[in-house]
Amino acid sequence: MGLFIQYGIHASLEALEDAGLGGRFGEGANTAYSPKRVGVSIAAGMGGLPEIQETDRELEKREKKVTSPFFIPMIIPNLASGHVSMMVNAQGPNTCIATACASSAHSVGEAARLIQYGKADVMVAGGAEAVVCELGIAAFASMKALSTRNDDPSHASRPYDVDRDGFVLGEGSGVLVLEDMEMAKKRGARIYAEVLGYGLNADAFHMTTPAPEGAGAQECMRLALEDARVSAADVGYVNTHGTSTPTGDGLEAQAVAKVFAAAGKNLNVSSTKSMTGHLLGAAGGIEAAFTALSLHYGIIPPTVNLVKMDDVSASTGLDFTPNHAVKKSYRYALSNSFGFGGTNASVVLGRV
């Protein structure tokens, strides 16, 4: 298996165990749901990049140009979902969304809709990514996307800071178990948060640069709030995409400020990528989990390494929760994920 597949499997099995749904569906103690009503959707933005790199190098050395028969299954993005379905006997919807850095936020949103539309009772949803290899680092470095603060790596990821110079590449997996609310309550499940709304759209502007003033992001957040039937004034926290890039952070800050102007001082904002780096296709899944935990425990995670805010972000007047977590009880939160190609996703969660 490719490393991203291993990450996705591990996170999925942990999530199911935490949800009280460990084991194979339809067998033993896990008979609350029919296997045909359980689905899996684990996204990946890139797939098995390290395995592609290593296989190509090995192939160049060989006189006989033969690869492992497992090479293709190691790199295909949907194999994380496939393996999880086989391990837990989930025979319902099985998908893999690949929308760059918005992949797993789209996965969570679409999974929620499958349950809402009556196509599944349970969805294992999120994302997995593993591209920390020579090819991945070199490619993003060539795009001028990565931080070059190599002499001080622990402070390299610094969203909204005036000295930010690019993102830090991370890897891993974030997976949630989504479940029909009434059925979850009936079986006595521990519920961290409720998925209330989901928005998605496109900037239709540029391959890598967001639209001016974050226009596409603004509309995406409004669509999610409309879907959730939640007023912007009632949202207490936004987990931003906030990758630590010079252009993107300021544009998202402007977008959040415009959408949530009515929230005023009630709103906290933070980028947890300051602590995890950017997990690309897995970012939305892990950040949806952070947002759900923030609602459940009443703690806003901080934006670390925020020493001096850049002028654009500072002009918004937003509280970026610098360097220290904040205790806060609130009802609604929103998590943003945006990807190359101008693809956007926003998910609204509510406290239960």
- Which residue in the block uniquely carries the two structure tokens 């006997």? 89
pLDDT tens per residue across span 298-340: 999 999 999 999 999 999 999 999 999 999 999 999 999 999 9
Q: How confident is the model at residue 188 (pLDDT cuts 50, 70, 90)?
A: very high
Q: Would you state the pLDDT for residue 51? A: 98
What architecture (CATH level 2) is domain 194-350?
3-Layer(aba) Sandwich (3.40)
CA distances from 185 to 22, 64, 212, 295, 330 (A): 17, 59, 44, 18, 22
Catalytic residue among 83, 96, 106, 241: 241
**Every domain of the chain and the residues it spans:** 3-132+170-186, 194-350
User: Is-above-0.75 flag for pTM?
Assistant: yes
Catalytic residue among 96, 133, 220, 278: 278
296: annotated active-site residue:
no
**Can you tell me the mean pLDDT for 16-35?**
96
83: annotated active-site residue:
no
Q: Would you state the pLDDT for residue 64? A: 87
- Give SS3 for 128: strand
Count CB-CB contacts under 10 A for residue 326.
16
Q: Tell which residue, 312, 301, 256, 271, has the closest CA to residue 158.
A: 271
Q: Would you state the pLDDT for residue 351? A: 98
What's the DSSP call for residue 42?
E
**Can you tell me the mean pLDDT for 59-65?**
91
**Can you tell me the mean pLDDT for 150-165?**
97
Q: Output the average pLDDT for the chain.
A: 97
- Which residue in the block uniquely carries the two structure tokens 């409004």? 222
- Give SS3 for 83: helix
**Can you tell me the mean pLDDT for 88-97?**
98
Q: Would you state the pLDDT for residue 168? A: 98
Rounded Cα distance between 238 and 240, Å, is: 6
- Topology annotation, domain 3-132+170-186: Peroxisomal Thiolase; Chain A, domain 1 (3.40.47)
Catalytic residue among 83, 96, 101, 106: 101
pLDDT tens per residue across span 256-278: 999 999 999 999 999 999 999 99
The pLDDT > 90 percentage for the chain reads 99
Q: Would you state the pLDDT for residue 88? A: 98
**Can you tell me the mean pLDDT for 32-47?**
97
Let me know if the fold of 3-132+170-186 is the same as that of 194-350. Answer: yes
155: annotated active-site residue:
no
